[in-house]
Amino acid sequence: DIQMTQSPSTLSASVGDRVTITCRASQSVSRWLTWYQHKPGKAPKVLIYEATTLESGVPSRFSGSGSGTEFTLTISSLQPDDFATYYCQQYNNYWTFGQGTKVEIK
């Protein structure tokens, strides 16, 4: 199975900050990568797929980049609603989640 590693595991930030989360794959997944946002007690929500494509209805402050083995999720200006756990997930060779990055209030 392909392993997905996110960094950092926890990130402390303030409203208005620019936030970047990194996801690395143990082998190339081409551009087949999805980012989710997960809040406690709610279903995870897709933010980005195919590494860079914004899911319909997702605010434009979210963006994704990368290909192959290294990917990033960027939130250009952190909003109060964005404090959550973020997961990457590859879908090039079956499906694998990263271990998650918790974005908490500084």
Partner 1 sequence: EVQLVESGGGLIQPGGSLRLSCAASGFTVSSNYMGWVRQAPGKGLEWVSVIYRGGGSYYADSVKGRFTVSRDNSKNTLYLEMDTLRAEDTAVYFCARMGSHRDGWDYRYYAVDVWGQGTTVTVSS
- Spatial contact of 38 and 84, defined as CB atoms under 8 Å apart: yes
The two structure tokens encoding residue 23: 């996801």
Closest Cα partner for 104 from 13, 3, 16? 13
Closest Cα partner for 48 from 35, 65, 60? 35
C-beta closer to partner 1: residue 9 or 77? 9
Query: Among 12-20, 44-52, 56-64, 71-79, which window interacts with partner 1 (CB under 8 A)?
Result: 44-52
Least distance (Å) between residue 35 CB and partner 1:
9
| Binding of residue 96 to partner 1 (CB under 8 A) | yes
Residues contributing to the site for partner 1 (CB under 8 A): 1, 32, 34, 36, 38, 43-44, 46, 49-50, 53, 85, 87, 89, 91, 94-100
